[in-house]
């Protein structure tokens, strides 16, 4: 532990598994008080709680529940000054076979969810003139690649949201950045056909997929005081694909 986030109060959405849990773990190690939102996985939430994080069951699309969560965090761990918008879903389906509901669910979870949580969480940040928001995008949202169209569109929207919001709230000493990982071990790679994974690795200079822990370490640095001037940026973490 280096105390990188000592004294900071963080909220991570989608923290019951995968990348969200890894981010919670690193933030806790670095001294932050961490709360996370989860929707369905009671077992997964318990595992993240066991690390020392506080859990709140909520749907990121339920604006009233999100308000309650942010108010509870402020009451229990002080002013909220770090937000990681990580909640998301995946679905592999070609556009020609995609239902309207598929598109709406993907955009709602990634984009509207980030909007609703950010809208609530940013209010105490503005009051306190301090904060950092990190939106979790994807390589599929910043680079042309073989990925589901609705997923790529949703992740690209987070990049645009990051840039516009950074301009809007910079005067309040709030930084907004975006992290775009490539394929990660234990992530979507488990559902990729071997041929597609091999093609990805052929183009990756480091010759391997990344890990959740590696992304979480970069996330911690990005929201720390060591990153005092970067805002509105999208950082690609893909091993040089």
Residues designated as active site:
151
The token pair at 186 is: 């234990």
The token pair at 44 is: 């997964």
The token pair at 143 is: 């680079």
- Tokens 């509870």 belong to which residue? 72
Give 159's contacts (C-beta < 8 A, 6+ positions apart): 135, 137, 141, 142, 178, 180, 234
The token pair at 176 is: 């907004």
Nearest to 236 by CA among 198, 210, 197: 210
| Virtual torsion, Cα 30, 109, 160, 165, nearest 10 deg | -60
The token pair at 225 is: 């005081």
Cβ atoms 163, 232 nearer than 8 A: yes
Q: At what angle do helices 113-128 and 63-77 cross, to 10 degrees?
A: 40
**207 burial level (CB within 10 Å; 0-12, 13-18, 19+):** exposed
Give the count of beta carbons closer than 10 Å to the beta carbon of residue 212: 21
Cβ atoms 177, 234 nearer than 8 A: yes
């Amino acid at each position: 532990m280096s105390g990188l986030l000592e004294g900071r109060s963080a909220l991570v959405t989608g923290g019951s598994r995968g990348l969200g849990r890894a981010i919670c773990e690193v933030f806790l190690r670095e001294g932050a008080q961490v709360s996370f939102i989860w929707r369905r996985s009671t077992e997964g939430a318990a595992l993240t709680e066991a690390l020392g994080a506080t859990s709140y069951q909520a749907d990121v699309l339920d604006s009233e529940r999100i308000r309650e969560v942010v108010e509870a965090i402020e009451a229990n761990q002080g002013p909220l000054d770090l937000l990681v918008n990580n909640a998301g879903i995946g679905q592999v389906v070609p556009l020609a076979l995609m239902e309207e509901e598929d598109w709406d669910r993907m955009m709602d979870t990634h984009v509207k969810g980030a909007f609703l949580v950010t809208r609530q969480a940013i209010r105490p940040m503005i009051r306190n003139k301090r904060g950092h928001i990190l939106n979790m995008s994807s390589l599929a949202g910043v680079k042309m690649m073989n990925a589901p169209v609705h997923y790529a569109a949703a992740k690209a929207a987070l990049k645009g949201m990051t840039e516009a919001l950074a301009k809007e709230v910079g005067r309040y000493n709030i930084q907004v950045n975006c992290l775009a990982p490539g394929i990660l071990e234990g992530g979507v790679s488990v559902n990729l056909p071997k041929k597609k994974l091999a093609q990805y690795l052929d183009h990756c200079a480091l010759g391997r997929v990344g890990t959740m822990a590696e992304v979480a370490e970069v996330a911690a640095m990005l929201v720390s005081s060591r990153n005092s001037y970067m805002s509105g940026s999208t950082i690609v973490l893909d091993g040089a694909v």
